[in-house]
Amino acid sequence: MAPETLIYNSTSPASDIWALGVIIYELTTLKRPNFLGDKEPRHVFTSGWRPDLSAVKDEFTRMILEKIFVLDPIERPTAGDIAILFQTLNISTNELSAQDPVSDESQGHISFRIAVALRLAFLGRLSYAQSLMETSRQSRDTSPRRGRRVLETI
């Protein structure tokens, strides 16, 4: 949950953007973010707080999450801001699909194809993203991996 929800029981569209960030984090690391540890939200979410995103290996995804996981809801991007960010990157579909899909299973990181599918989905290229997801699912069927149940729900 967003800090303002945990501390003040307040929600807004910015809280939904935080939730989107949590989903992106979970998809890229196959883990839930644990920003609180064993502490109370009021003691964690203080001025100067920054999320630990060391588990996110993809630089693009980390950059997006750094923009989303900010304490002040007004400073978070809107859904429109995020869409514009992806559009202005002008990522070529051919360029992305030509890259080697890598999975660092010892670290529990999601495959490169999933990260690419996330980018493409934001670009409005959902059908291509879905085909990448299907390809990824088929490759998982031949080689069982950690996190399979999570990925099958996408």
Helices 126-142, 112-122: axis angle to 10 degrees equals 160
Top CATH class, 1-76: mainly alpha
The burial class, CB within 10 Å (0-12 / 13-18 / 19+), for 142 is: exposed
Tokens for 67, please give them. 């923009």
- pLDDT at position 83, please? 78
Residue spans per domain, the chain = 1-76, 91-154
pTM of the model: 0.63
- pLDDT at position 108, please? 41
Contact status, residue 63 vs residue 42, Cβ threshold 8 Å = no
Contact status, residue 101 vs residue 113, Cβ threshold 8 Å = yes
- pLDDT at position 13, please? 94
Chain centroid to CA 10 = 23
Contact status, residue 85 vs residue 94, Cβ threshold 8 Å = no
- Compute the distance between CA of residue 69 and CA of residue 55 in angstroms, rounded to an integer: 15
- Compute the distance between CA of residue 43 and CA of residue 148 in angstroms, rounded to an integer: 35
The tens place of each residue's pLDDT in the chain, 154 residues long, gives 999 999 999 999 999 999 999 998 998 898 999 999 999 999 999 999 999 999 998 888 898 999 999 999 999 999 888 877 776 665 554 554 454 444 444 444 444 556 666 665 665 544 554 565 566 566 555 544 444 443 344 4
- pLDDT at position 137, please? 61
